[in-house]
Amino acid sequence: MKVVEPQRFREVMSHFATGVTVVTASTADGPVGMTANAVCSLSLDPLLALVCFDNGSRTLRVVREERRFGINVLASGQQDLARLFASKTPEAEKFAGVQHTVHEGIPVIEGTIAWVGCELEQLIPGGDHTIGIGAVIAAEKATERDPLVWYRGEYR
């Protein structure tokens, strides 16, 4: 069997366009968040959503402890938010200039096109990532705008 190099796999998968989200959670110390594009609706009965977390992610650690997370769907033009939450910037600095509210303990970023609130159901190991499955406890569509898309290594 031929082994595919990780970089080659990454390059091939970059041809699959995805939406861009910021996954958020909250602690007593404040909100945390990360940019994620490995996100999807998993089930309508029961309502479940899926997020893939980097194993080293602070957001994963908080979700594991607090058992809740939010999926904020970014709009076209929100590349700066995507870059900010993909960076190693300290969490307090990430949220310093970002307007958000808190719904049932879940940070909701203002100006996104939609958001989903979840209660953690299950975490499944998946190589260098952890697959999080959440029961949907809230879902809102905020505005009618085009989504931010990640395709071939850039935002569109």
Q: Where are the domains positioned within the chain?
A: 6-155
Between the CA atoms of 44, 47, 51 and 55, what dihedral angle is there, to the nearest 10 degrees?
-130
Neighbours of 112 (CB within 10 A): 24
Low-confidence ranges of the chain (pLDDT < 70): none
Q: What is the structure's pLDDT at 143?
A: 78
Q: What is the structure's pLDDT at 2?
A: 79
Query: Rounded distance, CA 39 to CA 142, Å?
Result: 18
Can you give the pTM of this predicted structure?
A: 0.95
Q: What is the structure's pLDDT at 71?
A: 99
Q: What is the structure's pLDDT at 22?
A: 99
Neighbours of 61 (CB within 10 A): 15
Q: What is the structure's pLDDT at 82?
A: 98
Q: What is the structure's pLDDT at 119?
A: 99
Q: What is the structure's pLDDT at 111?
A: 95
| Token pair of 100 as six digits | 């958000």
Query: What is the homologous superfamily of the domain 6-155 according to CATH?
Result: Electron Transport, Fmn-binding Protein; Chain A (2.30.110.10)
